[in-house]
Structure 1
Amino acid sequence: MGFLKEFKEFAVKGNALDMAVGVIIGGAFGKIITSLVNDIIMPPIGALIGNTNFTDLKIDLSRVRDVASNVTSVLGEKVTATGTEMEPIYWRYGAFIQQVIDFTILAFCVFLMVKLINSLSRKKEAPAPAPAPAPIPEPTAEEKLLTEIRDLLKEKR
């Protein structure tokens, strides 16, 4: 029974709930960044390099397979010696480039958010400046009289 009690304490703790909210918000934030990259940033870059979509960049590796396994072409279709059609093999390096760009932008956005939160928390934690010390009050008439008496007694000795 101790295990279930321990799990219940963990599940209803604030930290677990905060983590769940963070994961949900993080997923939504990831979708926003993916849209930013795919729909806003990549089209101009693709236009600059000749209307190329990075995810379409690939190298056909079927030729390597075909040479290694003696594949013949029948009416444009690649078939094995047994007559079954073979799927083409592509090395999709453009999709990898796209994911690297997505990650870089996401990491930069998270960095900016953390930097903003840290600067706000430093401002909140910074202690208020110490108030200026109060001016020394003027001695009262009684204190002045006692000071004069003390000075006279010192002179007599």
Structure 2
Amino acid sequence: MIKEFREFIAKGNVLDLAVAVIIGGAFGAIVTSLVNDIIMPLIGVILGGTDFTTLAIEVGEASIMYGNFIQAIINFLIIAFVIFMIVRTANNMKKEEPPAPPAGPSAEDLLTEIRDLLKARN
């Protein structure tokens, strides 16, 4: 059982997935910092000093923090756009495969042609 587990872990796709998760987490931290520390303050200045994280509605004793929700939507849109740009760039960088050469006659067609030529000679 240990041997099977080692073989499973050693497969390339499992290791690739682990690396992708780690890099994705680090990338998420970068994008979150970009949004929280650069983009949202600029949007706040444009909107007259509004800090979205403090926006809330009080309902009884509960606070509905809709500003955090707005922040999460903006984070998602920026992350989705950046990922779109990365995938688009990667797809554009791939080499286009040359078109397949035209298929020649099959072996059966060639044998039929040879037979017909031999019949015509006799």
In the superposition, the TM-score normalised over structure 2's length comes to 0.75
- The residue type equivalent to 2:71 in the other structure is Q
Distance in 1, Cα, partners of 2:29 & 2:76 = 12
Q: CA deviation at 1:47?
A: 1.1
Written as runs of structure 1 = structure 2, the 5 A alignment for 1:1-150 is: 1=1, 4-62=2-60, 88-121=61-94, 123=95, 125-127=96-98
Distance in 1, Cα, partners of 2:20 & 2:88 = 17
Deviation track 1:14-49 (CA, whole Å, cap 9, x = no partner) reads 111111111011001101111111111111111121
Point out 4+ residue stretches in structure 1 off by more than 4 angstroms: none
In the superposition, the TM-score normalised over structure 1's length comes to 0.59
Unaligned runs of 5+ in 2: 102-122
The alignment's C-alpha RMSD in Å is 1.7
Unaligned runs of 5+ in 1: 63-87, 131-157
How many residues align structurally? 100
Q: CA deviation at 1:119?
A: 1.1
**Structure having the larger proportion of residues in helix:** 2
Q: CA deviation at 1:52?
A: 1.1
- The residue type equivalent to 2:98 in the other structure is P
